[in-house]
Amino acid sequence: MDAIRKLVAQYFQLVDPPNLALPPGHVLVRPETQTALYERMFDESLTPLPPTNYRARVLKVILAQIEASIQNPDEDEILDDLMTCWANLIAQPKPSSLTSAQQLSHIKYTTPINPSDAALERTVITSESRGLILAGGTTGFRTWEAALHLGSFLSSPSGEELVRGKRVIELGAGTGFLSLLCARHLGVRGVIASDREITLIENMNRSAPLNRVADSEKPMPFHAALWEWGTPLEWTDDMQDFVENDHISFDIALGADLIYDTDIVPLLLSTVRDLFENYRVQHFIIAATIRNEDTFKTFLSGCGKQYIVTRFSLKGQEEVLTATDTHQFAVERIAFESTPSDQQTGFFHATNIPI
Ligand SMILES: C[S@@+](CC[C@H](N)C(=O)[O-])C[C@H]1O[C@@H](n2cnc3c(N)ncnc32)[C@H](O)[C@@H]1O
């Protein structure tokens, strides 16, 4: 992969500076590389512009690397534009680390490279704080690893096939990352990003216009709606696209990182059942980070009698497990593994905890 393209994609996702994949020193020192870095990362007219302190941290690492790679001071030098940008950045007042941790900013995520069309650049913009775990009683103000993993699958050819032309509902959507991906790039008929927090719904509604195709006349098929599991979905008139024969209907439901507490599992399962029984959903695609095996097992065993897990080993053998409960969902594991972090080309996420 083009090293600059990867660095640019990581930078707009606000990947931690120590984890950025910098091009090697002899490449960084070239004037054309420095010009490209300035034009694609540090020019102030770029949007969305990452927060000042993040830009300063990244530029500091890059400048140090260039300086260390200079072999011949008469020929190699640091680009003036980068030095001017550095001077401007360090002259800005520095917010406290608490303030910057809580501040929401626009994050631009780039899909992993599509092997059949490497030139295709698809991005999703959210508003969030990448390091924020809990704020205002919700964990939804950042996009979690499981969502980036599921987004990587959905943007692959076989994932896209599952949602293209479909009516989609997302549970616990948080920043709306997956729903925005579906609406902007995956050709869904419509998508509703639901969550129980009104502040998250408002936040998603502010992010949606940032993802509109500039010259498209068609409205983006995206809606954000309040839905606390166990209560009725809050319906608004602009969601008529989902009504068929007087019935609210979806084809596919999505969920990422919803299984982190055994207490909410029964509520989640009853909502999934509601989706199958009352909203005509055919498939629920869920991605979970397995932080605690027991919590995940509570979910799996709650899924029911017909719980079938299909695992594909490297030799192609299948392993099938069964368990018992009342929901009777057929559960199938989609054979899509996370790409190791250092080989990811987009939707960058940690893989040290299995997803
Ligand atoms: C860990 S976050 C995951 C957010 C997003 N899916 C992602 O992976 O980035 C869990 C989300 O589920 C939502 N949530 C938790 N309990 C819920 C409930 N009972 N009803 C609806 N949403 C809920 C939270 O508000 C939060 O946005």
Inform me whether the pLDDT recorded for 238 exceeds 90: no
CA distance 174 to 139: 7
Where is pLDDT greater, at 330 or 148? 148
The Å distance, Cα 255 to ligand 1 centre, comes to: 9
Look at ligand 1, atom 12, and give the residue with the nearest C-alpha.
172
Region 261-288: what's the mean pLDDT? 93
Q: What are phi and psi of 24, to 5 degrees?
A: -60, 155
Q: What are phi and psi of 284, to 5 degrees?
A: -115, 115
pLDDT at 94: 83
Question: Is 197 touching ligand 1 by the criterion CB < 6 Å?
Answer: yes
Indicate the pLDDT class of residue 314, thresholds 50, 70 and 90: very low
Q: Evaluate whether 175 touches 140 at the Cβ level (below 8 Å).
A: yes
pLDDT at 174: 98
pLDDT at 327: 66
Burial group, residue 32, by CB count within 10 angstroms (0-12, 13-18, 19+)? exposed
Q: What percent of the chain has pLDDT over 70?
A: 93
Mean pLDDT of the chain: 90
Query: Tens digits of per-residue pLDDT, 206-230?
Result: 999 999 887 777 889 999 999 999 8
Q: Evaluate whether 229 touches 267 at the Cβ level (below 8 Å).
A: yes
Look at ligand 1, atom 11, and give the residue with the nearest C-alpha.
172
Inform me whether the pLDDT recorded for 182 exceeds 50: yes
pLDDT at 317: 53
Q: Which atom of ligand 1 is nearest to the CA of 227?
A: 21
Q: Which atom of ligand 1 is nearest to the CA of 143?
A: 9
Query: Tens digits of per-residue pLDDT, 37-55?
Result: 999 999 999 999 999 999 9
Indicate the pLDDT class of residue 251, thresholds 50, 70 and 90: very high
Report the b/e string of 309-339 with b at 16+ CB within 10 A: eeeeeeeeeeeeeebeeebebebeeeebebb
Question: Is 176 touching ligand 1 by the criterion CB < 6 Å?
Answer: no
How do 167-171 and 252-256 pair as beta strands?
parallel
pLDDT at 95: 81
How do 123-128 and 309-312 pair as beta strands?
unpaired
Residues linked to residue 224 through DSSP beta bridges, in sequence order = 193
Look at ligand 1, atom 26, and give the residue with the nearest C-alpha.
140
Q: Evaluate whether 227 touches 171 at the Cβ level (below 8 Å).
A: yes
Where is pLDDT greater, at 33 or 234? 33
Question: Is 199 touching ligand 1 by the criterion CB < 6 Å?
Answer: no
Radius of gyration in angstroms for the set of CA atoms belonging to the chain, rounded to a whole number: 22
CA distance 224 to 221: 10
Q: What percent of the chain has pLDDT over 90?
A: 70
Indicate the pLDDT class of residue 328, thresholds 50, 70 and 90: confident
Amino acid at 165: G
Question: Is 272 touching ligand 1 by the criterion CB < 6 Å?
Answer: no
Inform me whether the pLDDT recorded for 308 exceeds 50: no
